[in-house]
Structure 1
Amino acid sequence: MADTLHSGVENVESKKKTSKVKHDWYQTDSQVVITILAKNTKQDDVKVEFGDQTLHVATVLPDGSDYDLNLNLAFPVVPTQSIYKVIPSKIEVKLKKREGIQWTTLEEDKSAPIVPQPMMETVVSAGPPKYPTSALRTTDWDRVVGDIAREETEEKPEGDAALNALFQKIYSQGSDEVKRAMNKSFQESGGTVLSTNWNEVAREKVEVKAPDGMEWKKWDQ
């Protein structure tokens, strides 16, 4: 998930002068990261206090002015799992989220309710009907045939290759009854009939079926 970037400017007042130090923030699934663009600050001069829903950062800037950042956070964090580090180009604070939700704002705004957004959403859509079988799972044959048709379009198999692919797909994903029906109908009909309906073929022998427009005759006729 792409990080969400926000910006803010903190006015810093001191007895000597007023400074402007920019701070940015972004978030991941588990953390909120605040970057304070205070350059060349000393590690010993930086003080950071983590609260359940507050953050306080204080330091002395290179020009001698005091920097003080106080935030009432929009959502709770875990202080014991929050950290910070000081590098020449910035001060980076990583807040551990108490809940894996998306923050819509960094600071608490009591004038308007804040509705947390889930980091991920699952969309359930209606699909084609599932046909029951005696197996422990159901197979969506419409989807299987559709997948084969899509593969045929992409790979462009010819004649028997496309037909065999369809039969192999149905057989590999079929129930025991489907497999028995396909084996029985294919063997008894001499390869002219292939059925997936066991109830239909179980009662009697599957007769040979000639192609449309032709008549089947035995060899000695």
Structure 2
Amino acid sequence: MAEDIKDQNCELKAKLPAKYDWYQTEQAVVVTVLVKNVKEEFLKVNISESIVRIDITLPDFEAFTLSFSLSRKIVPDQSSYKLTPSKVEIKLKKLEGVQWDKLEGTSATEGIKTIPKDPIPQLSGPPSYPTSKKGKDWSAVEKEIKKQEELEKPEGEEAINKLFQEIYGKGSDEVKRAMNKSYMESGGTVLSTNWDEISKEKVQVKPPDGMEFKKWHE
């Protein structure tokens, strides 16, 4: 009976909303898996010279696996992956500096097809990259990645620092002088943008409530 309940719970798990695409440069093939909020502990990436496998095991979703039998060999020791809150990006170092006609399976290319070092520039729009699908608009995928990254809002101290940076970058000379003077004279406990007020006298140290300010040698 307990086994039946366990099986039912497994069936209720949703499929992980993830999709992938790929592009290539002269030296590498880059596979991008668009998936949100995956922590390192739930991710496993295995890279060999001809096979790449990605396993994601989030508690609330069915186990997710992607496995690629690569059309050409790579150099595993010089390949790597990067995890962000919106994607997993896997960079595969090519064994040969040739263009892949597809990501998986046996390459249909006869002989070596060298990638030109100076490609013909596009007249307008973002650069287009060869992909696993003929005519695939990689720019659309790239825009979606950027959109996901923009939604990753900083929190806590990181958010405060970003706000101060934006104020300083967009502020007038007086705002910048006020911020610099108040921060330096107060030992980092005061940050003001009001130059008329800050310029009149030395800014006093104002530690947070319940804390006492001491110099480093005290």
TM-score range, shorter chain: 0.3 to 0.5
Decide which structure has greater helix share.
Answer: 2
Q: Higher relative contact order at CA 8 Å, sep ≥6: structure 1 or structure 2?
A: 2
Q: What TM-score comes out, normalization by structure 1 length?
A: 0.44
